[in-house]
Chain A
Amino acid sequence: MLFRILDPQTKANQFWRDFDRLNDELTRSILDDQFGSSSHFPPVNVYTKEDEALVTCLLPGVDIDQIDINVKDHILSIHGKKKMEELAEGTEVHRREIFNGEFHRRLELPFRVNQDQVSAKYVNGVLNIHLPRREEDKPKKVSISLG
């Protein structure tokens, strides 16, 4: 008769490894819910033309001095902080759904950007960033002459 010898130590280790993994997944999922699904906040649209890219970003109720835009080669990074409005003393809170806190988006553009020419506008809570393509990277038309 054969008996399978179980190593109690190995089983216990496996149990704690699984427990840690599940705990980590649960914590991340709770944090994502709490901070407005960090991977997609703020939501962005990206449009490209031959000579520039346009990134539009929904950012209602943010002070423009709290928005930080960085461009390096073909990477655009939008970082900032959304501050909560100060409430008068004695104010009762019935419902709070608007996100407050830090946000960060990093986007990869299909071409390198001329950093000196980047411009941004903030209208009605929408941030529009114009990113001109580097001159040397623009497609060049080659004229063909008859031989």
Chain B
Amino acid sequence: MNTLTKETKQEVDGKREVTEVKPQVKVYSPNVDVYETENSLLFRVEMPGVDETSVGITIEKDQLLLEGKFQIPTVERGQVRLAEYREGNYLRRFTIGKAVDSDNAIAKIKNGILELTLPKIEPKKTKIEIRNS
């Protein structure tokens, strides 16, 4: 787990530049199980507090990026007595060694667990005949 500080720059009246420092955002590295079957790769990711609208999956070349935003609902909760976790972002990156069909990837999220299935692409088999010269 680590913490990031984000800074944004705003222009005021077209002249002065003001630097606004946003509060620190906690970045969590979620627990992941990775399985492989004959036809696919399966990722199970723990993201409690995340639903289908706040999760992001990106596949670029052999890089898989799993993201999620966890926000504590702004209901009046009263005085904080004990805080073992706070809101933040989930972030996990993987390099996929096998060729996958990202267009047919299936993702679902249930009870705070993201399940991603990536179908494998079978490598093309080309038989080369050897001729006698």
| A interface residues with partner B (beta carbon < 8 Å) | 40, 43-50, 52-54, 56, 58-62, 85, 87-88, 90-99, 107, 110, 122, 124-126
Contacts and interface: CB of A to CB of B under 8 A. Distances in A.
Nearest to B46: A60
Given A45-B83, A47-B80, A60-B111, A92 B36 contact: yes
B33 to A, nearest CB: 5
B50 interface: yes
A111 B83 CA distance: 18
A126 B77 contact: no
A51 to B, nearest CB: 9
Q: Which range holds the interface residue count of chain B?
A: 20 to 34
Contact of A94 (B36, B38, B85, B112): B36
A53 B81 CA distance: 10
Interface string B14-55: 000000000000000001111111100010101111110000
A97 B32 CA distance: 5
B49 A90 contact: no
Interface string B41-74: 0101011111100000000000000000000100
B4 interface: no
26 contacts: A43-B84, A44-B82, A44-B84, A45-B82, A45-B83, A47-B78, A50-B78, A52-B78, A60-B47, A61-B112, A91-B35, A92-B36, A92-B37, A93-B35, A94-B35, A95-B32, A95-B34, A97-B32, A98-B32, A107-B82, A124-B48, A125-B46, A125-B48, A125-B49, A125-B112, A126-B48
Given A48-B78, A124-B49, A124-B50, A58 B85 contact: yes
Contact of A47 (B33, B51, B81): B81
Given A60-B47, A124-B48, 11 more contacts: A47-B80, A49-B77, A56-B72, A61-B112, A62-B111, A91-B37, A91-B42, A97-B32, A98-B46, A125-B112, A125-B113
